[in-house]
Chains A and B, each alone.
Chain A
Amino acid sequence: MGRAEIVSVHSFRGGTGKSNSTANLAACLARMGKRVGVVDTDIASPGIHVLFGLDLNETEHTLVDYLWGRCEIAQAAYEVGARAGIEGEGRLYLIPSSMRTSAITQILREGYDVVRLDDGLRSLMDELELDFLFIDTHPGVNEETLLSIAVSDTLLLLLRPDQQDYQGTGVTLEVARMLEVPRIWLMVNKAPRSSDLSALRARVAETYAAEVAAVLPHDEGMLTLASAGVFCLLQPEHPISRSFDEVARRLAKRESQA
């Protein structure tokens, strides 16, 4: 078995759809029979567990407990695929971050050893025999996000089509290139309904000289779902779900070649 493919999902600003995209891509891959892990490294404002319907009151350990050395990383991994309706070989593990305010403030104040985070990721990949490990990140650039970018095989940079995101994405992209991330994909989300998606895609690809994995339109259904579920599992035929599927297939293809 080869090493898992690490996919970091990042954006310069918040609210671009990182958590939703992470959950959807992870679910798509698990549905294809892959063993997938998702780590919520957005310690300051964790949220991806909501998408998978995981109640943190019922969980004993989280990523924060691991970072403090209170448990092994695998103890903080929860299988969330079965309850979401994923059948067959595929597995979907979530390593949530703590929702407890005291824990969050303490770890943000004291910081943690980013190397331990890196080590945790490695052991997760091995112990759970993962094919993919997704890292849902905190927006912006700080030490943890830089680390997650640095260790990624694939960086998925999300942006909305507006000037602020365009500018910020330029910064992150250059940083990621300096870190020699092997594969950097841009993904435009929340494009206005009226816009010509393929023209937008071409324009973004040209401006950044980077590959654009997908351009997703702003969608009322996605918005009203309000992260209460994984969109592509609920509406598999929706154009947005198909786009996620398409990106997942391309990730899988790459992984099987490696």
Chain B
Amino acid sequence: MIRSAPEQLAREIEVRVRALATALRKSGGREQSAADLAKVAAAASRLGEMWQARAGGASEALDEEAARKARHDLRTPVSHMMGYLELAEETLQEIQSPGVEVKAWLVEIGRLRARVDELRVALEAGMRAWAHERPSSPPASRPPGRRGRGGARVLAVDDDGENRNLLRRHLERQGHEIETAEGGELALRLARETPPDLVLLDVMMPGLDGYETLRRLKSDERLARVPVIMLSGLDHAETIVRCLEAGADDHIPKPFEPAILSARVESALERKRLGDREREHLAQLLAAKRRADAFIDYVVPMGARLAAQTDTPTLLREIVEVARRFTGADGGTLYLRREDASLQAVVQVVESRGLDRSSGDPIEDLAPSPSAQLAARSGRSQRIDDTGDASVDAPRSIFALPLRGVDDELRGVLELTDARAGEGADAATPVAFDPARETALEALGRLAAVALARNAHEQSLRRRIADLEVQIDEGARAREVAVITDNDYFRELRAKATRLRARGRSQPGQPSPSAGAKTKDEVDDGPR
């Protein structure tokens, strides 16, 4: 069903109601009804203005709250219109034996009520469309084709200047952004510069005609999905079929009915929006599948491999290698967290420089990079797609991954540098790290951290067991004790030791005799 734009309807109602009010006043004694009708006209005028203002700013998406308020604001005048029309009608119906004039007024009021009803329907339909608008995200980041109703970029192509003007005015009224071209060549150039959301394309044009322009549009990979509506004065079935066969989405005969134009434009845009959403969804599904594949094919087996590695130096090296292989990174540096929370590099591999330091001993001359430190401090992965540093040894792309185990405690940081596409002549050219693999990489980091924690724990257990192992060689001890004790000095010492100790005790407060003490015979008070 094709509807007039709400503001057009409102304007029509306003004009007709004012005329009716004037007629009532002229015939005399109908002041009340005339006043009611004046209120209907005022409401219609207000509504028209509001709708236009709303449509003009439609490229700005409304959030839920604002949309609710706008709906309310628009419904209010409609109900006023209905209410006052009914009042006027009732007043006129009360007239005893009405003349032709009054009957004619009642007929007109009946028609006006039908128009107001039509207006209400059109408004509701228009307002429903707002619900499709995505709230809040800034326009710049919105992908083409996701603009809300009225916010689309339309390219209108017609060799006739007046036609272009008409198209522009109509579509701008609907809140779209219009670019025009007077021929196929320019149209193609403009479209390639910035792909539009919709193309309106005249069939008959000098130079590149509509068919050829359409063909070229559809064979351009970037533009193939932009819907095209053909405009043609030749309303032949043959023309229409030819256009549709060539990939046009719709066809509008010229001269176009504004209502038909806007209806077709909106429905084409809506189809495109749906199609885009569908594709986006599919892309998400594919990305999710790739992530799942990465998990099953790589993260799970590699995690198991790390978990089985009990030799610490080998484990450290493997963590770096596994992650490097997974991302295609040229370099990998593993830092372990020291007790004072600083980072200590223990493995460094940079393939392109033939660097391989992975003995498992601390690499003292390697200070942690800013990215690694940031990853450690924030606990979050740090990705730099392009450092912009062109010096020889400086990495172009960086991915620093904090290694945190199940307890969330930071064990270290793994820094990968210079991801590579890995094929052909560009194999050595660094690229950015694949964001789609981030989750898998983080999972790998967690497994690595768990393996590290497990090894550290095992080592400390082993150390503890060694500490606790108190072994005494009894034979050796007996021999050593014999060497010390099996002599006269010791025997003598032993004989007088108790006396030596007891000497002061039996004479509290007395100056100790310095000589002869050892000969003094004292009572052995025994060990205490």
Contact = CB atoms under 8 A, between A and B. Distances in A.
Contacts of A180: 494, 497-498, 527
Interface residues of B, number: 40
Interface of B: 460, 463-464, 467-473, 476-477, 480-481, 484-485, 489-490, 493-494, 496-498, 500-501, 503-505, 508-515, 517-518, 527-528
14 contacts: A3-B505, A122-B513, A125-B512, A141-B484, A146-B489, A150-B496, A152-B501, A166-B471, A166-B472, A167-B473, A171-B477, A171-B484, A199-B464, A199-B468
A198 B172 CA distance: 83
Interface of B: prevailing SS: helix
Nearest to B506: A3
A207 B472 contact: yes
Contacts of A179: 493-494, 497
Given A122-B503, A147-B493, A171 B480 contact: yes
A200 interface: yes
A207 B470 contact: yes
Nearest to B496: A150
Interface of A: 1-4, 6, 115, 118-119, 122-123, 125-126, 141, 143, 146-147, 150-153, 161, 163, 166-167, 170-171, 174-175, 178-183, 191-192, 194-196, 199-200, 203-204, 207, 258
Nearest to B504: A3
Q: By CB atoms of chain A within 10 A, which of B463, B469, B493, B517 has the most? A: B493
B165 to A, nearest CB: 84
A175 B508 contact: no
Contacts of A171: 477, 480-481, 484
A200 B514 contact: no
Contacts of A195: 463-464, 467-468
Contacts of A178: 485, 494
B508 to A, nearest CB: 5
A200 B468 contact: yes
Contacts of B514: 119, 122-123
A194 B409 CA distance: 18
Contact of A167 (B472, B493, B500): B472
Contacts of A2: 505, 508
A234 to B, nearest CB: 21
A143 B489 contact: yes
B482 to A, nearest CB: 10
List of 4 A-B pairs having minimum Cβ-Cβ separation, nearest first? A122-B512, A3-B504, A119-B514, A150-B497
A123 B511 contact: yes
Contacts of B504: 3-4, 122, 125
Contact of B508 (A3, A143, A153): A3
B515 A175 contact: no
Nearest to B459: A194
A127 to B, nearest CB: 8
A122 B485 CA distance: 25
B481 to A, nearest CB: 5
B437 to A, nearest CB: 37
A175 B485 contact: yes
A194 B472 CA distance: 23
B484 A119 contact: no
A175 B493 contact: no
Given A1-B509, A171-B477, A182 B528 contact: yes
